[in-house]
Structure 1
Amino acid sequence: MSATEHADRAAAARAYRPALRPGVLIGPAVLRGPRTVHLIKHPVSGATFEVGPKEHFVISRLDGTRNLDDVVSAYAARFRLRLPEEQWTRLLGLLGTRGLLAGSPDPAPPEPPPARTGTFWKGSRRTVADAHRTAGRLHRLLSPLLRPWAQLPLVAAVLSMIGTVLADPVTFLDGTLDLLTRPLVLVPFAVFLWFSICLHELAHGIAARHYGGVVTEIGLRWRFPAMMMYCTVDNYLFLPGLRPKLVVAAAGAHVNLVLLLPFALWWALLEPTDPSRPPLAGMLFIGCAQALSNLVPLPPLDGYRILSHTLGTANLAPETWTYLTLRRRGREAVAAYPRRARRIHTSYAVTAVALVLLAVAGTCTAVLLLLLR
């Protein structure tokens, strides 16, 4: 290649104003171990990969209006460093190879998952052909109930119900024992709980749909003899802002508690000596325990997702285990971890151990109290 041709190619590269293809999703900054990363997702293939803050800074400015000189100036103002031309070229080559630049050829869409996987003992089955459309229909049907004027009274009623149960645990434990001795009442309530858990999963999908999420699957998952519904949200981590992620994660437990409100009202309206009151108290205790246990910040519960989003972390539990493993080798082994990461992983390790011990102690205490009644 002649010097003139080389200069022409260099000039063309500097004048090039690249743009991301429409629909590319870029996630917020999250802490993964010692590194801060951003997730980027292809709109067709669904493939995701991670980039660091500097790469994210460049990628987020690829809107078709900026060339190399524009990006270099902004990069220098942000990081006090000059963006090497080789790094610019390499990043654009990577984005082009992955089909993330406008004009890149469309990759083959992912193969749809099989309708059923697994065996009689363990597996899953899709029950809805178009999960996103189904979630959209449910969202449109329930949209009036998702507004603040409806949700604020429901939240207040739920908090009042939880406060009533916590204020007198002995009464509600006695009611649980009474319920366990009445199979004709216990069996229908167990069926109600099963449907409540199914609605719990649908609530995640409807809440995600409310904020623009994509629901990819609705189906049944079984581990013999148990069978539960599941609802998969494809772009949950890319929803804009913290609030939508927290709402989606908490939606299931919220629905479980809202479904208990008719039982709470019925219990409150009965006379204290009414024989129907104890089993209703037992239903409230079991239902509240089931819903609130989902908010415990341990994987794979919803509370773990809520905590992870609040802290802005990814893979919090496994990364904490990795940090503790390295920490046992000495301070030098975790020198790459920033102070915030060290505080988060240490605090979560202590919290997780305390929660497990508290759960064991609480379960043993409840069983003991029930046996002594």
Structure 2
Amino acid sequence: MPEARASAARVYRPALRAGVQLGPPLLRGPRTVHLIRHPVGGAAFEVGVKEHFVISRLDGTRNLDDVAPAYAARFGRRLAEDNWNRLLGLLGARGLLAGAPDPPPPAPAPARPRANTLWRGTRRIVADADATTARLHRILRPLLHPALQLPLLAAVLAMEAVLILHTGELLDGTVELFRQPVVLAAVALFLWFSITVHELAHGVAAQHYGGHVAEIGLRWRFPAAMLYCTVDNYLFLPGRRAKLVTAGAGAHVNLLLLLPFALWWSLLPGDDPARPLLAGLLFLGSVQALSNLVPLPPLDGYRMLGHALGAAHLAPETRTYLALRLGGKGAEATAAYPRRSRVVHTAYGIGAALLLLSAVTGTCAVALLLLLR
């Protein structure tokens, strides 16, 4: 009987369930991992490079004897039958093989210790977020073509270059703006609207690349309230470019909304009373948009850097690495980290520290300049 079971396992040609998503390689601390996502429940889990090598070849045409030679050529060791059987058992238990039953639903999450209150909370505001963003995508799709977006990106970059050259005027305009409460309230409303469009831009961009928007809702921390948009298969979007564009879409749209005001401001004579107010709007809007591109969590720039580097959980893994590296054992404690991982985490640790220092220094300098004007 054991021999018969072993023979059956060797000739079995498993196939992944239709719709199972395999993620690209991600650097996570000392390891390289891949994410695998269930097509129905949406649950995702990590596997190593060796497991991914085998899983990616489960197409219903290969058995152990077919996969084993390629595995040995890639990793320099034989794929043991026990390992093959354990992996198939894990995939079957998670409902990832064709014909396998769905796994039992996860246990319900514990009740929140605190319900939504006036001071803080979240509320879903769209019944079917994916259908809503899909409709928006169908309407906006002609505008998403690179032939239009690349010139708009160039216009945004040119706008920011001109604004940098007029930093003094923008600071004076911001001071003047704060002296006029009614206009300031209108600018604040525009910036709030810009944040709302920012979140929807993430969802529309994800739809453009085949993503699924799970939720659109309102999050508030009294007195501020803002829209949020959740893409549940964001890490499985096809290719690095899709992830970068989706993460950067919000800031891009924020800057696009400033273009008409920048044109208006540039056409006004220097003594026009509207010019300083527009300068203040352009300064605050640019700060709002560009600050989102800073590569620190939880900002969009942090996600973009992680995708560009192919690294997962960059900030916490960097803290773990530096704690080991600077601890008593030093290099010995980080011997398991490959060279690329050591370079990435060291560089990010130094860069993040410099960014925080620059942000604090810059904020204090701008505040001081505004007070002195």
Give the aligned partner of residue 331 of structure 1.
331
1:259-278 → structure 2 map (5 Å cutoff): 259-278=257-276
Question: 1:192-213: CA deviations, max 9, x gaps?
Answer: 1001001100000000000000
From 297, 304, 324, the counterpart of 2:302? 304
The aligned amino acid for 2:139 is: L
Instruction: Tell me whether 271-280 or 58-67 shows the greater mean CA deviation.
Output: 271-280
Contact 1:45 1:110 in 2 (8 A): no
Distance 1:6 1:317 in 2: 49
Matched, 1:45 2:31: no
Residue in 2 that maps onto 1:350: 350
Q: Distance in 2 between matches of 1:112 and 1:187?
A: 43
For residue 160 of structure 1, report the CA deviation from its aligned partner.
Answer: 1.2
Q: Retained in 2: the 8 A contact 1:39–1:50?
A: yes
Q: Counterparts of 1:240 and 1:124 in 2: how far apart (Å)? A: 30
- 2:168 is the counterpart of 1:170: yes
Superposed, which structure 2 residues align to 1:138-217 within 5 Å? 138-217=136-215
Q: Give structure 1 regions of 4+ aligned residues with deviation exceeding 4 angstroms.
A: 108-114
Question: How far apart, CA to CA, are the structure 2 residues paired with 1:58 and 1:176?
Answer: 59
For this pair of structures, how many residues does the alignment match?
Answer: 368
Q: CA deviation at 1:153?
A: 2.0
CA contact (8 A) 1:17 1:67 kept: yes
Residue 110 of structure 1: how far off its partner (Å): 6.8
Partner of 1:314: 312
Are the counterparts in 2 of residues 44 and 107 from structure 1 also a CA contact under 8 Å?
no
Letter in 2 for 1:23: G
Whether 2:25 is the aligned partner of 1:33: answer: no
2:232 to 231, 234, 252: 234
Alignment match of 1:70 (pick from 55, 66, 70)? 66
CA deviation after TM superposition for structure 1 residue 120, in Å: 2.3
Identify unmatched segments of 5+ residues in structure 2: none
Cα contact 1:45–1:108 (8 A) shared by 2:
no
Distance 1:289 1:270, change over 3 A: same
Q: In the alignment, is residue 362 of structure 1 matched against residue 362 of structure 2?
A: yes
Q: What letter matches 2:153 in structure 1?
A: V
Q: Distance in 1 between matches of 2:350 and 2:276?
A: 38
1:134 matched to 2:132? The reply is yes
Which segments of 5 or more consecutive residues in structure 1 lack a partner in the other structure? none
CA separation in 2, counterparts of 1:149 and 1:132?
26
- 3-state SS of 1:145 partner: helix
Aligned partner of residue 297 in structure 2, secondary structure: coil
Note closer, same or farther for the CA distance 1:72–1:218 as it changes in structure 2 (3 Å cut). same
Give SS of 2:18's match.
coil
2:13 paired with 1:21: no
Tell me, in whole angstroms, the C-alpha distance in 2 between the residues paired with 1:79 and 1:277. 66
Q: Matched residue of 2:174: which SS? A: helix
Per-residue deviation, 1:7: 2.6
In 1, are the aligned partners of 2:211 and 2:234 still within 8 Å (CA)? yes
Matched letter for residue 192 of structure 1: F
8 Å contact from structure 2 (residues 93, 103) kept in 1:
no
Shift of 1:111: 9.2
1-structure distance, mates of 2:105, 2:200: 26
Q: 1:48 deviation in Å?
A: 1.2
Asked whether the equivalents of residues 30 and 312 of structure 1 are also in contact (C-alpha less than 8 Å), the reply is: yes
Q: Which amino acid is 2:84 matched to?
A: W
User: Percent of pairs identical after alignment?
Assistant: 68
What is the aligned partner in structure 2 of residue 88 from structure 1? 84
Whether the 8 Å CA contact 1:44–1:109 is kept in 2: the answer is no
Residue 349 of structure 1 and its aligned partner are, at CA, apart by 0.8
Kept in 2: contact 1:46–1:110 (CA 8 A): no
Using the alignment, how far apart are the partners of 1:110 and 1:160 within structure 2?
51
Point out the more displaced range, 204-213 or 143-152: 143-152
The two structures, once aligned, show a CA RMSD in angstroms of: 1.6
Q: Look up the equivalent residue of 1:266 and give its one-letter code.
A: W
Query: Aligned partners of 2:87, 2:202: CA distance in 1, in Å?
Result: 36
Post-superposition Cα deviations, 1:112-165, rounded to whole Å, max 9, x if no partner, equal 999x96322211000000000000000001111101222122112111110011
CA separation in 2, counterparts of 1:193 and 1:75? 54
Greater mean deviation of Cα atoms: 271-280 or 249-258? 271-280
The secondary structure found in structure 2 opposite 1:118 is coil
Aligned 8 A contact 2:94 2:102 in 1: no
Give me the whole-angstrom Cα distance separating, in 2, the residues matched to 1:108 and 1:338. 38
User: 2:11 is aligned with what amino acid?
Assistant: A
Aligned pair partner of 2:55 in 55, 59, 66: 59
CA-to-aligned-CA distance 1:302-334 (integer Å, 9 cap, x gap): 000000000110000011111111112221111
* Cα deviation 1:21-80 (Å, max 9, x = unaligned): 011111110011111000111111221111110000000000000011001011112112
Secondary structure, counterpart of 2:58 in structure 1: coil
- Separation in structure 2 between the aligned mates of residue 206 and residue 167 of structure 1, nearest angstrom: 33
1: CA distance, partners of 2:181 / 2:107: 47
Residue 38 of structure 1 aligns to a residue in which SS?
Answer: strand
Residue 223 of structure 1 aligns to which amino acid in structure 2?
R
The match for 1:125 is: 123
In structure 2, relative to structure 1, the CA distance for the partners of 1:316 and 1:280 (3 Å cut) is: same
